[in-house]
Structure 1
Amino acid sequence: MYDYILRHGKIMDGTNNPWYYSDVGIKDGRIAEISRDITESAAKVIDVSGLAVAPGFIDMHTHTELTYLVKPDDNCKISQGVTTEIGGLCALSPAPVDDITRAPIENMNNPLLGVHGLKYDWNSMAEFLDVLKKSKHVTNIGTLQGHNAIRTMAMGFEDRPPTEAELKKMMALLRESLEAGVFGFSTAGVQSPSNFADTPELLALCSVVAEYGGIYETHLRSESNAMLDAVAETLLIAKKTGVRAQVAHHKASGKINWGKLTASLRMIDESRQMGCDTGVDMYPYTYASFNLEALLPPWVRGNSTSQAIEILADKSQRPRILNDMQNGILGSGWESVYQWCGFEGIHIGAVAKQKNMSLQGKSIAQIARDRGCGSIDVVCDILCDEGFGVLMLLDFGCEEDIETALRYPFMAPVTDALTTHLHGGGNHPRIFGTFPKVLGHYARDRKLMSMEEAVRRMTSLPACRLGLKDRGLLFPGYAADITVFNPDTVIDTATLEKPKELAAGIEYVFVNGVLGYKDKQIVDLGGALLLRKGKAHRKD
């Protein structure tokens, strides 16, 4: 007897083959049978006539591994059909840590990831994965090793190349994490201390990742004026080390750079033709999400939070801060995200304090007009009041670039998102809308790709990039991660004004054979697993 039979579905199996009608039998967490008329009995039969039956969607770029520790039943990902998430991106990891680095890493990660006050009760990545294994979470979770933690363990926050001994320590720590089951390694060219690394350091670390068949995901050093140079560095690393490389949340920010994705995607494709295993992902929105302190120049942001706030509170420093934001700092390599859109295009997304909730959704420029002060005063005053961790949204791109990127066959959609902001504030709508938007808007309505191809981008493509052996395809023997959606009605409904609206058309979501979501409700947390490279581990 099967646990479930899904009857009369339109099978979109993740290969981009044309859909076909069939039944799907599920037993013991696996796909047991796919055939036109299953004769086996089942504990539960669901008629899915007219609905698409697809592999569960894989979000290969998230920041949820900590937020699920404090909010395991968050519905933002499963409600859009996601069954597997990979964290540890953009150089951010909560391990390894020791008694010296634990507090600095907590102070760096927690405001960025929306988990203020979380204490890291572990040391190694292996210990952290064991914590995840024992915790509840609504989707499967795996992680990469972020650069920041291992660099801090080896050499603190020093802005210099590592010594030979320090580099060997980083390589050893990375190897330990890969042995523990992480899927690869991530860096961030705009996040300290990862952005202090030069290319030789990254080559050495990526050579270790290549030994394990892991993936190297990078938040480029530049996503605007020097974006093509940053892509070239990533492709060089892939060529010299043989690592599988992924350009994360690819974009060309600022009007002067619109259209550059055509050139960068050509570079990536040429590298593939030369034998480099390179790929790319993106979220389908023209506005990005950062913490508000990302506006600050490095001479402010590079301090501890308390020291930085002291500088911000000193009004005599604000003209210098504004000048650096507007004009950059010659020779520093720092890229001012203010230049992407100015204060009119920067909106407050989420705050912690109830008294500031009315600021959510407003631009910095509008708040300045309301208060009768300068925009730089708004930024500094909010940070002094709230501390670091205020979410902002920035208009950076154009719709034409999104469509250019989505036409590229190796472009995987991702959310680049936390779970729901834990303070109850605003969010980027990508947190609830990314995958249904690609299916409904770009595939069905804009016809940039077939629905079957959109499913492939969300399933077998990220599974192959990550090395997930038994997920991403709707085949017998594979894990029963299954998303059932209505191809005629699936669409995102989350907006900047209402960012937590649930997507339409996501009917059923199974995680390892357990029905986790239906009728826009989470119904069971029991199916999700911790995923380690090459294997999965149940929580019991």
Structure 2
Amino acid sequence: MKKVILALGLLCPGILAAQQEVFDYFIKNATVYDGTGAAGAKRSVGIRNDKVAYVGLDTLMEAKHTIDGTGYVLSPGFIDPHTHADRWLKDDNTKYLYPWIAQGVTTVFVGSDGFGTYEINKEFNLYEQKGMGANVAAFVGFGPIRSRVLGNDVVQPDKADLEEMKLLVEQGMQEGALGLSTGLLYVPQIWSETPEIIELSKVAAKYGGIYDTHMRSESGNIINSVREVISIGQTAALPVHISHIKVSGMDNWGRSTEVIDLINKERAAGLDITANQYPFVASLTGLKNGLLPKWALAGGNAKMVNRLSDPNDLKKIKTFLKKRTDEQNKRVVISSLDKKIQHLNGKSLYDLCQEWKMPIEEVGVKLLKEHPAVSGMSFSMDEQDIISFSKEPWVMTGSDGGGFHPRTYATFTQIVENFCMAKEIFPLEWAIHRATGMTAKKFKIPSRGEIKEGYYADIILFKPEEVKAHSDLVNIDYLSEGMRYVFVNGEPVIAERDFTKELPGKTIKKAQ
């Protein structure tokens, strides 16, 4: 018998390993969707320490904990490539990342929209000291870099400035960033020009990184914005990724076709360009970005507030705001985590005009003077554009979560419950792939995103028909349900549908 076992071990090392040690967890008879896009197959999976130690047909392995997965789907944990979970991770009350964990997310990327620090080691050390409910990877952000070197005013870098910025990008990349992130709607990044971004992207490219961006425009100037992304990718010679791809504004509805055609043309020519999206018709950002002219944002919030008190500037700002229609104001709804103004959440700008008996120019000025960081949801997208993007093989799931919006609580849940099960836009294996293996491959995350022997045991067990989103655009801060087990690095953070309050997440640095 020993000779037989030895012979089998030489042919199949995994079998011999399984015989030698007891598993920590053994999940038998589940339908395994491995994250590659392949259809599900009946398999059993063994977890030992933080890794998948067995994938096969055996159902009688010895384990400390055996879970019967009959009737359940077992898949890799979801990877969220665009979040603002940074602020959650810094708070002892929210570092568990329950809104993400409840959806089956086991890895989040931070530093999105160009907001990420270039001091990756310092940031990661903080997260590790506090503990993390999920794994964390990071981008180096354009915003803090430009702000440190040039401030927040309308200014262009000279050669010395650019070299200083490049060194900060290099620091972030050397400390393990996935790539360079930009948010070209936001101060001070909004003042940058394409050549500046290309030069910084070349540094990220040198380290095998990616360019991830919130484009300059997602509305009327969307095609030129996509072309800028393409130009950056081609000139800096690195993969590019468009975050929360969308078409905003009623006048632009239907233009997803133009965007898709342009991107498919460049992909066919060899450019590695992809995108992520969330499945909601409303976006969320600082109210100032949608209400005020760009010049009024220069210098940051303090200078913006000063302009709202300056008679000459105020006159121009009010003239700008007067152009807004009632329909536009009805489509912007206050949605803030700031406890001082949560009583305004759910009210549109139009509602506030009626309640305060003020025209929009007075309401806008009052809000931004008293609460310059107030955020709002903009109901600006068409569902058909969202669906059109979702069908493309280069679009993955990403939440943009972190704010007071259902995308924080229900992005991945909605994809399974609505796009996959209810509307049958794509099959379950594709819903899983676009949230696991596709994302890991694009961002070069090793040994995650698939259920495979030797890979980290980031694994979720659920019944698709039980996955439910309880957060919507009216009732926001409600956790999703449907996950029976969620494992992060082999340790359950949800076990038999209950949070364990464990913090097994790891920081993920890009290999140099």
Q: TM-score, normalised by structure 2?
A: 0.91
Query: Which residue matches 1:407?
Result: 391
Contact between 1:69 and 1:136, CA under 8 Å: does it hold in 2? no
2:509 to 532, 536, 540: 532
- Alignment deviations for residues 440-497 of structure 1 (CA, whole Å, 9 cap, x no partner): 1111121111100110000011111111011000111100001112112223221122
Deviations 1:387-411 (A, max 9, x none): 2322211111101001101110110
Is 1:456 paired with 2:477? no
Rounded to whole Å, the distance in 2 between the matches of 1:178 and 1:257 is: 37
Amino acid of the residue matched to residue 298 of structure 1? K
- Of the three residues 85, 101, 112, the one matched with 1:89 is 112
Give the secondary structure class of the aligned counterpart of 1:270: helix
8 Å contact from structure 1 (residues 318, 376) kept in 2: no
* Aligned residue identity for 1:435: F
* Contact 2:102–2:480, Cα closer than 8 Å, also in 1: yes
By how many angstroms is 1:33 displaced?
A: 0.5
In structure 2, the residue matched to 1:102 is: none
CA distance in structure 1 between the aligned counterparts of 2:25 and 2:88, rounded to whole angstroms: 31
SS at match of 1:458: coil
How far is the alpha carbon of 1:352 from its aligned partner?
Answer: 2.7
Judge which range, 292-301 or 441-450, deviates more: 292-301
Report the AA paired with residue 332 of structure 2. Answer: I
The answer to whether the 8 Å contact 1:515/1:524 transfers is no
Structure 2 residue aligned with 1:249, among 228, 244, 266? 244
Secondary structure at the aligned position of 2:112 is classed as coil
1:128 pairs with 2:123:
yes
In 2, the alpha carbon distance for the partners of 1:307 and 1:198 equals 22
Cα offset for 1:126?
2.6
Is 2:230–2:240's contact at 8 Å kept on the other side of the alignment? yes
Q: 1:348 to 1:511 in 2, by over 3 A?
A: same
Distance 1:61 1:72 in 2: 17
Which residue of structure 1 aligns with residue 448 of structure 2? Answer: 471
Counterpart in 2 of 1:512?
489
Show the counterpart of 1:272: 267
Determine if the alignment matches structure 1 residue 77 to structure 2 residue 100: yes
Deviation at 1:525, TM superposition (A): 2.5
Please, which of 32, 36, 44 is the counterpart of residue 23 of structure 1?
A: 44
- Say if 2:293 is the partner of 1:297: yes
Counterpart CA distance in 1 for 2:325 and 2:358 is 20
8 Å Cα contact 2:82/2:399 also seen in 1: yes
Q: Distance in 2 between matches of 1:519 and 1:384?
A: 48
Alignment of 1:12-411 (within 5 A): 12-70=33-91, 71-93=94-116, 95-96=117-118, 124-294=119-289, 295-313=291-309, 318=314, 320-325=316-321, 342-350=328-336, 352-354=338-340, 356-385=341-370, 387-411=371-395
**Structure 1 residues 174 and 272 mapped into 2: Cα distance closer, same or farther (>3 Å)?**
same
CA distance in 2, matches of 1:55, 1:339: 47
Q: Which runs of 5+ in 1 are unaligned?
A: 97-123, 328-337, 422-426, 536-540
**Which sections of structure 2, spanning at least 5 residues, go unmatched?**
1-21
Letter in 1 for 2:89: Y
* Mean Cα deviation higher: 291-300 or 434-443: 291-300
Q: Which amino acid aligns with 1:395?
A: F
Work out the CA distance in 2 between the residues paired with 1:218 and 1:149.
Answer: 15
Q: 1:517 to 1:132 in 2, by over 3 A?
A: same
Q: Is the aligned partner of 1:498 residue 2:467? A: no
Indicate conservation of the 8 Å contact 2:97/2:134, yes or no: no
Letter in 1 for 2:453: P
CA distance in 2, matches of 1:197, 1:347: 29
Displacement after TM superposition at 1:158 (Å): 4.4
For residue 419 of structure 2, what is the aligned residue in structure 1? 442
Percent identity, aligned pairs only, is: 27
Indicate if the aligned counterparts of 1:436 and 1:492 stay in contact, CA closer than 8 A: yes
Count of residues in Structure 1 that have an aligned counterpart in Structure 2: 488
The residue number in structure 2 matching 1:523 is: 500
Letter in 1 for 2:338: A
Report if aligned partners of 2:96, 2:503 keep a CA contact under 8 Å in 1.
no
Contact 1:185 1:209 in 2 (8 A): yes
Question: Higher mean Cα deviation, 83-92 or 129-138?
Answer: 129-138
Aligned partner of 1:100 in structure 2 is: none
Q: Which amino acid aligns with 2:422?
A: D
Shift, 1:369, TM fit: 0.7
Q: Which amino acid in 2 is paired with 1:402?
A: I
Distance in 1 (alpha carbons) for counterparts of 2:115 and 2:489: 28
Equivalences for residues 4-15 of structure 1 within 5 A: 4-15=25-36
SS of match in other structure, 1:66: helix
Whole-Å separation in 1 of the counterparts to 2:395 and 2:223: 17
Could you tell me how far 1:155 is from its partner in structure 2? 2.4
Higher radius of gyration, 1 or 2: 2
Name the aligned partner's letter for residue 438 of structure 2.
L
Q: Decide whether the 8 Å contact of 1:340 with 1:396 is kept in 2.
A: no
| CA–CA separation in structure 2 for the residues paired with 1:42 and 1:388 | 55
Is the contact made by 2:187 and 2:299 (CA closer than 8 Å) also made in structure 1?
A: no
Distance 1:351 1:275, change over 3 A: closer
Q: Secondary structure at the match of 1:22?
A: strand
The 8 Å contact of residues 137 and 177 in structure 2, kept in 1 or not, is answered as: yes
Distance 1:340 1:208 in 2: 46
446-455 or 515-524, larger mean C-alpha shift: 515-524
Structure 1 residue 85, shift from structure 2 partner = 0.4
Moved more, 215-224 or 68-77: 68-77
Change (3 A) 1:277 1:128: same
Change (3 A) 1:351 1:22: closer
**Aligned alpha-carbon RMSD (Å):** 2.0
Distance 1:320 1:161, change over 3 A: closer
